[in-house]
Amino acid sequence: MKKIVKEYERAVIFRLGRLLGGAKGPGIFWIVPCVDTFRKVDLRTVSFNIPPQELNSVTIMVDGVVYYRVFNPTISITKVEDANLATQMLAQTTLRNMLGTKSLADILRDREEMAEQMEEVLYSASKNWGIKVERVELKDVKLPPTLQRAMAAEAEATREARAKVIAAEGEMKSSCALKEAADVMSESPAALQLRYLQTLAEIATERNSTVVFPIPMDLITSFMRNSTGWNRCVLGRGEDDVSEGKILTFPGSLLGSQMKLFSGFIPFQWPESPALRPSPVQLNTTPDGAAFASRYVTGELLGEGGFGSVYAGVRKADGKSVAIKYVAKSACKEYISKISFTAVDEGLFDAQVTGCRRRSTGGNIFSSPECPFLLPAFPPVMMDLWRFMVVLGVVLLARGLERNSEDKQCDNFSDLDFHEAFIGTSLYVRLLLYTRANLDCGHELPHQDFTHVPLFHVTRPTTFVIHGYRPTGAPPIWIDHITRLLAAQADMNILVVDWNRGAANFNYFTAVANTRHTAANITAFIHRMTDEGACLDSIHLIGVSLGAHVAGFIGAMLGGRVGRITGLDPAGPMFAGVPPEERLDPSDAQFVDVLHTDMNSFGLSGANGHIDFYANGGLDQPGCPKTIFSGKAYFVCDHQRSVFLYLCSLNHTCPLTAYPCSSYTDFINGQCLQCEAFKPSSCPVLGNVLQYTTVSVEMGYDLSQWRDKLLKLGQTKVYFSTTAEPPYRKTSYIVDTLTWNQYLRWGIVILHLHSGKNVTEARIDHKLLRFEQHTNMKLLAQFDEDLYPVEKISLRVVTGNVIGPRYKIRLLRIMITPLDLPERPPLCRYDLVMEENTEVTFKPVLCDESHL
545 is annotated as an active-site residue? yes
Q: How far is CA 485 from CA 303, 481, 639, in A?
A: 73, 6, 21
Give the amino acid at 740: W
Residue 617 DSSP code: G
538 is annotated as an active-site residue? no
- Cβ atoms of 352 and 340 closer than 8 Å: yes
Find the Cα–Cα–Cα–Cα dihedral 340, 344, 348, 351, rounded to 10°. -20
Distance from C-alpha of 799 to C-alpha of 749, rounded to nearest angstrom: 9
With CA atoms as reference, report the closest residue to 238 among 187, 191, 305: 187
Paired strand residues for 614:
596, 719
Residue 481 DSSP code: H
Q: Which of 639, 681, 721, 820 is labelled catalytic?
A: 639
Distance from C-alpha of 562 to C-alpha of 529, rounded to nearest angstrom: 13
Q: Is the dihedral of CA 369, 374, 380, 384 positive or negative?
A: negative
Distance from C-alpha of 835 to C-alpha of 544, rounded to nearest angstrom: 51
774 is annotated as an active-site residue? no
For every residue of 673-717, DSSP letters joined together read ---GGGTTS---BSSSEEE-SS-EEETTTS-HHHHHHHHHH-SEE
**Backbone phi, then psi, for 195, in 5-degree steps?**
-65, -35
Give the rounded distance of the alpha carbon of 611 from its chain centre: 25
> How many Å from the N-terminal Cα to the C-terminal Cα in the chain?
88
Strands (E), 426-490: 428-434, 443-444, 462-466
Q: Which of 498, 537, 569, 585 is labelled catalytic?
A: 569
Q: Is 103 in a helix, a strand, or coil?
A: coil
Residues whose CB is less than 8 angstroms from the CB of residue 690 and which lie 6 or more positions away in sequence, other chains included: 684, 696, 697, 698, 699, 706
Element (H, E) at 176: helix 145-186
Sheet holding 320-328, edge to edge: 282-285, 291-298, 307-317, 320-328
- Cβ atoms of 769 and 815 closer than 8 Å: no
Give the amino acid at 411: D
Distance from C-alpha of 332 to C-alpha of 307, rounded to nearest angstrom: 8
With CA atoms as reference, report the closest residue to 738 among 779, 766, 790: 779
Q: Which of 337, 405, 545, 642 is labelled catalytic?
A: 545
CA count, 13 A, side-chain hemisphere, 422 = 3
- Cβ atoms of 68 and 131 closer than 8 Å: yes
Distance from C-alpha of 823 to C-alpha of 817, rounded to nearest angstrom: 10
Find the Cα–Cα–Cα–Cα dihedral 541, 543, 549, 555, rounded to 10°. 0
How many residues make up the chain in this entry? Answer: 852
The phi-psi region of residue 263 (left if phi > 0; otherwise alpha if psi is between -120 and 50; otherwise beta) is: left
> What is the CB neighbour count within 10 angstroms for residue 667?
23
Q: How far is CA 280 from CA 228, 264, 310, 397, 817, in A?
A: 7, 15, 12, 35, 98
Residue 575 DSSP code: T
> What is the CB neighbour count within 10 angstroms for residue 45?
13
- Residues marked active site are found at 545, 569, 639
